[in-house]
Amino acid sequence: MLKRIIFLLISILTLIPSTSVCQIRNEIYRRVKKSVLFNRTSDLSISSYSISDYTHYVRTNRFLLRFNSNEPSIYKIEQNGFYVVYKPVNPALSPGTIVKNSLIFYNVWKSTDIILTPYSKGLKEYIIVKDGGPLEFSFQIISNLKFAKFKDTVRFFKDRITEPVFYIPRLTAFDSEGNPVPITFKIGHFNELYFINIKIDTAGVSYPVKIDPSTCIWSESDIEDAVISQSNSTANWGTVTVFYYFTGKWSTSGPFRYLIKFPAITDSIPSNATIDSAKLSLYYSAIGDYDESVFFSMVDTPWVETEVCWDSAQSGQQWSGGSWRTYAYSDTITFNHTQSGWYSFRIDTFIADIVHRVYPNHGFIARHTDSESGAQNVFQGAHSEYTADPSLRPKLEVWFTTPPFADPWDDTLFILNDTQAVLQALDSNLSREGFWIVDSSGFLVHDTILFGGTGGIDTIRDTLNVPVGNKRVGFKFWTFDSFGNTGQSEVEYAWTYADIPEITVIDTSETTLTITFIPDSNLSNTYYYLYDSTFSVYIEPGGESSGYFQQFVKSAWDTFTISYYSPNIKIIFKAQAKNNDSIWCSPFIDSLWTWAEVPDIDTAYIWSKDSIYFVIDPGNNPEYTYYSIQDSLSGYFFDVTTKELRGFATVDSSWAWGTFTDWGDSTGVFLRVKPSTRYILRVYSKDGDKK
């Protein structure tokens, strides 16, 4: 039901010298006085519904419910061009049937129906799970709104800041006997698709189980009210459109009690507000012969406007004539039975306890001051759906004072790794609902993050994607609440990590290596160093080496040659760059083996008719160098174990390769050969890269 909320800024000469909103927000030592008025001004009405082969819809004066026979089980709620589509995951083909003012999808999943009914706050969606039905359900969400889970609700925002259009209240589930059923739900995403997942625990329950994931139209002044009567204990008067009883007793009817609730109190008044006064006003229509006295108490049990009666607060939840807290009462009003008009009740304590979260908001209940059985008159008047003159409907006016909305402080930006940075700050705004982040140019970095205030000093933080390459980046927080207040931190700057330098190393000769720095995205003034960890020396751009740390700017590095005189040595190079905050990036490591020195033949002569005495000269090669011996005429290699010609070999043929020790070191070996055969022997060596 569409309602109107009115905010008044009062200019008090000694408190706020200007009515400028900006000046009020920036005046950190002064407080802001406001009032908010809750009253119902228009009703939900279903003006039409249509079924055709292509488009099915139910139209109300607040939204359009649309579904299509070509897409069974899918439904869409629309308002002013904004929409949310719910697409059940893996459903059966259920085209939907309109029964009175409800849309029913039968057996969307096994033994599970979905019932959609427009009501005063939006779309009531019941999932009815019968015996044998599933315990988990998923819906894909398609919307042109931004949305996020906030506490126990989901909110759909028109923008990324503070303009909700729809919301999903906290989910509940009950079995057929009214017992609560454990339920969890979450929003997740996969491959850019978003889903709502609902899971229930049905151990020991009585079927069917009813789940109510409703979609509500965002409104800041909804009112719910109903009358209950002991003489008609199962009747519900939650949609009364004429003058009707509030409290008292009339003839043999009654006693009556009146329930009223303003669900948007906590969305309209910050939890750190001071309640100056709260006045609940009802319009009385003169009736009867006696004056009576009426007062309000605070209800302590959830109730549903369209289900509540004397015997139960809602379907499956029993009570007897209501349930209320006895710690406090409103002031008592005695009405003049001959005089129609407004009667107001002060409920400051009730509103303060709701706003400050001392007690949940289950509304208020009005009763007569006497035993009710002796009452001889009723207090009657206009309920929240009174149609003859909507201005006579109940209204609640709350005057409250709030501290100014403070800016975040102690903000810092630090680089987390090569591609991410963390922005964090402290914030103490109790009414804060979340924040967003902009860069130094004022562009929004990503979607809103909902993070409500706790009443203490909170650390707000977010991880941001940043470019590599020693780039200067800046970000700041904007915080907000649902009352139009915002705060902002200073812009914090940092230098991103330098791009990791890459090098290529090529062995161009037996004694030289060529090193090339590959172009990267770093700024020209970025510093680099190159380190040879094998010989523990730093390499300069010209190829010289030093035992002292050397760093040079990017422009100094290109391609150069360095000399090495150690054969078959693994040279490990490490290159790093640092940003302008003197933070080094991750190292780039490359390695290469220098060439092995060409071996010689120390001794080779005929020892016997079938053996040759053979000694390898390893030169300057290290002891772990591998060698092989080949007969050049046949192309065959000797087996290092049997010392006989075995066949063709490659650098990977382990049987052909052995160390100097394997080949008999300086003592030599006897190679087995055939008599009267000519051989031309050759020795090979290979480095650690098998070259």
Confidence of residue 373 (pLDDT cuts 50, 70, 90): low
In a domain, 29, yes or no: no
- Is residue 377 located within the same domain as residue 266? yes
User: Percentage of the chain surpassing pLDDT 70?
Assistant: 86
Is there a single domain that holds both residue 61 and residue 155? yes
In order of 352, 456, 492, the CA distances from 626 in angstroms are: 87, 71, 59
pLDDT, tens only, 440-491: 888 888 767 878 888 789 999 999 999 988 999 999 998 887 666 788 999 9
Q: Which helix (H) or strand (E) holds 184?
A: strand 183-190
Distances (CA, A) of 580 to 462, 473, 476, 585: 23, 12, 21, 11
Say how far apart CA 603 and CA 616 lie, in whole Å: 7
Last residue of a domain, one of 183, 217, 251: 217
How would you classify the pairing of strands 669-672 and 611-617?
A: antiparallel
Cα 576 to Cα 452, 478, 515, 549, 590: the distances in Å are 42, 36, 15, 12, 12
CA distances from 265 to 2, 119, 120, 513 (A): 16, 20, 17, 76
In 288-300, which positions are buried (b, 16+ CB within 10 angstroms) versus exposed (e)? eeeebebbbbbbe
Could you tell me which of 476, 351, 485 has the C-alpha nearest to residue 429?
485
CATH code: domain of residue 543: 2.60.40.10
Strands (E), 451-511: 458-465, 472-480, 486-488, 492-495, 503-507
> Residues of the chain with pLDDT > 90: what percent?
24
**pLDDT exceeds cutoff 50 at 283:** yes
The C-alpha atoms of residue 468 and residue 418 are separated, in whole angstroms, by 6
Residue found by looking up tokens 């039975």 in the block: 337
In a domain, 16, yes or no: no
Per-residue pLDDT tens over the stretch 145-192? 887 776 677 878 776 555 778 888 878 888 888 788 999 888 877 767
Mean pLDDT of 575-580: 90
127-130 long-range contacts, CB within 8 A, separation 24+: 127/198, 127/210, 127/211, 127/212, 127/213, 128/208, 128/209, 128/210, 128/211, 129/200, 129/202, 129/207, 129/208, 129/209, 129/210, 129/211, 130/207, 130/208
How far CA 383 is from CA of 392, 393, 546, in Å, comes to 8, 6, 91
Q: Are residues 154 and 302 in the same domain?
A: no
Which pLDDT belongs to residue 13?
A: 22
For 80, the 3-state DSSP assignment is coil
> For position 14, what pLDDT does the model report?
24
What's the rounded mean pLDDT across residues 506-523?
Answer: 85
Among 593, 621, 637, identify where a domain stops. Answer: 593
Q: Tell me, yes or no, whether 37 lies in a domain.
A: no
Q: What CA–CA distance (Å, rounded) separates 330 from 344? A: 10
Is residue 563 located within the same domain as residue 627? no
* φ and ψ at residue 21, rounded to 5 degrees: -60, -40
Q: Which residue has the tokens 């925002």?
A: 157
Q: Which residue has the tokens 């049937």?
A: 97
Split at pLDDT 50, 70, 90, the class of 350 is very high
Do 177 and 75 lie in one domain? The reply is yes
Last residue of a domain, one of 495, 514, 544: 495
Which token pair is 605? 């002569």
Tell whether 106 is covered by a domain.
yes
Global pTM value? 0.53
- pLDDT in the model for residue 374: 61
What does the pLDDT read at residue 34? Answer: 52
Q: What is the pLDDT of residue 332?
A: 86
Give the model's confidence band at 215: pLDDT under 50 very low, under 70 low, under 90 confident, else very high.
Answer: confident
3-state secondary structure of 515: strand
Highest mean pLDDT among 256-270, 314-328, 622-636: 622-636
Tokens encoding 363 = 């509304």
Q: Examine the domain organization and report whether 436 and 485 are in the same domain.
A: yes
Find the range with the poorest average confidence among 10-14, 28-32, 127-131: 10-14
Whether residues 387 and 474 fall in one domain: no
* pLDDT average, residue stretch 47-66: 60
Whether 543 has a pLDDT exceeding 80, the answer reads yes
The answer to whether residue 14 is domain-embedded is no
Q: Does 435 have pLDDT greater than 80?
A: yes
Residues 370 and 389 reside in one and the same domain: yes
610-666 pLDDT, tens digit per residue, is 999 999 999 899 999 999 999 989 999 999 999 999 999 998 999 999 999 999 999
Pair 368, 250: CB distance under 8 Å: no
**pLDDT confidence of 4, banded at 50, 70, 90?**
very low
Region label for 620, one of left (φ > 0), alpha (ψ between -120 and 50) or beta (otherwise): alpha
Q: Output the pLDDT for position 161.
A: 54
Read off the pLDDT band of 423 (50, 70, 90): very high
Contact 213, 117 (CB under 8 A): no
Same domain assignment for residues 446 and 484: yes
- Asked whether residue 207 carries a pLDDT value surpassing 50, the answer given is yes
Count of domains observed in the chain: 5
* 438/458 Cα distance (integer angstroms): 20
Q: Which two tokens stand for residue 37?
A: 């008025």
Q: Are 235 and 340 in the same domain?
A: yes
Nearest one of 270, 224, 232 to 251, comparing CA atoms: 232
> Do residue 281 and residue 384 come from a single domain?
yes
Residue 237, pLDDT > 80, answer yes
Give the confidence band of 352 by pLDDT, cuts at 50, 70, 90.
Answer: very high
Task: Show the domain range for 420.
Answer: 409-495
Rounded CA Rg of the chain: 42
The answer to which of 16-20, 165-169, 330-334, 370-374 has the lowest mean pLDDT is: 16-20
| Average pLDDT over every residue of 295-310 | 91
User: Cis bond leading into 208, ω under 30°?
Assistant: yes
Q: Is residue 32 part of a domain?
A: no
Q: Is the pLDDT of residue 45 over 80?
A: no
The reply to whether 309 and 386 lie within a common domain is yes
Residue 323 lies in a domain: yes
SS3 of residue 305 by DSSP = coil
**Does 367 map to a domain?**
yes
Compute the residue count for the chain. 691
Helix (H) / strand (E) element for 153: namely strand 153-157
> Is beta strand 56-60 parallel, antiparallel or unpaired with respect to 46-51?
antiparallel
pLDDT on residue 5: 28
512 — alpha (psi -120 to 50), left (phi > 0) or beta? beta
Q: Please tell me which residue, 228 or 9, carries the higher pLDDT value.
A: 228
Who wins on pLDDT, 644 or 53?
A: 644
